[in-house]
Structure 1
Amino acid sequence: MSGYGGQPPGWNDPYGQQQGPYGQGGAGQQPGWDPHGQYNQGGGSYGYGPPGVYGPPASEGSAIGALVANIIVTLFCCGVFGIAGIITSAMAMSKVKTDPAAARKLTTWSWVIFGVSLVIGLIIIVVYVAVIISQADSSTGSI
């Protein structure tokens, strides 16, 4: 390539205009976008280029939901794993604005921990109820 001021090798202007260096425009060229994708403000300045495309703003909704769900499962199902879910969802909430990819992974892990804690808590409750029922049957039915 010939540098910033010249045309690239093999470049033929489809409109037949003389192309000057970037930002300075060529013969008959108005200020605006030139064929190289650069914004030409006229008067020799380079400009800023096209605006960036931004995605939707990061949301804390799923991390907050995971935090609340893990707190509830920790309180009502006595889930020790829920504490790990609380910690991971709190970490996800702190990283939503700065590192959305890591926040998404931490939120996913906190939901997985919630599911495991809920299943373990329900199994413990079912076993506890079964033991109480079997104790009640054995104390009233046999002499």
Structure 2
Amino acid sequence: MSGYGGSPPPGWQDPYGGSQGWGGDPYAADPYAAGYGYGPPGMPTKPPNNGSTVAALVCNIVSVVLCCGVLSIPGVVTSAIAMGRMHSDPESARRLTTWSWVLFGISVVLGLIVIVIYVVAVVYAESNGYDSTY
């Protein structure tokens, strides 16, 4: 027996219960019944998607430029590293992208807190008669 053709050894039972058993028709209506379930070796998989990584990179760059977000600088770095690892190590790229988004969120929250503190300080200064024109 060569492994691909011919008849099965005597007493062989199909462990998967395929109706066509050994050497079934791969073009049958139900390919799983023929014993073919995974396709030939070397089938290409779905390529990783880097849309979220690009969005994280752009958002962190905008945050650095507009808000002076200090935490957005590491976000830019982690996004750039994730883009480089997208095809070689997709799991690491996914984790780095998640960290980029976390750093971006923290940077935005801290930026909003600084703006609120500034507005409260200006309103307090004007209500107590301090001149802010100097």
| TM-score, with length taken from structure 1 | 0.64
* Alpha-carbon distance in structure 2 between the residues aligned to 1:116 and 1:131: 22
Is 1:77 equivalent to 2:58 in the alignment? no
Number of paired residues?
106
Give the secondary structure class of the aligned counterpart of 1:25: coil
Tell me if structure 1 keeps the 8 A contact 2:4–2:23: no
The one of 16, 20, 40 aligned to 1:51: 40
Q: Which amino acid aligns with 2:40?
A: P
Task: Show the 5 A alignment for 1:53-132.
Answer: 53-132=43-122
Which string of whole-angstrom CA distances, capped at 9 and with x for unpartnered residues, describes residues 70-100 of structure 1?
Answer: 1111222211100010000000111111111
Residue ranges of structure 1 left out of the alignment (5+ in a row): 1-19, 28-33, 38-48
* Counterpart residue identity of residue 125, structure 1: I
Offset, 1:50? 4.4
- In structure 2, the residue matched to 1:35 is 22
Q: Is contact 2:5-2:23 (8 Å) kept? A: no
List structure 1 segments (4+ residues) > 4 angstroms apart after TM superposition: none
> Percent of aligned pairs with the same residue?
42
The SS at the match of 2:128 is helix
Higher relative contact order (CA 8 A, sep 6+): 2
Larger Rg over CA atoms: 1
Counterpart contact for 1:77–1:122, Cα < 8 Å: no
TM-score normalized with structure 2 length: 0.68
Q: Are residue 137 (structure 1) and residue 132 (structure 2) matched?
A: no
Q: Distance in 2 between matches of 1:25 and 1:50?
A: 21
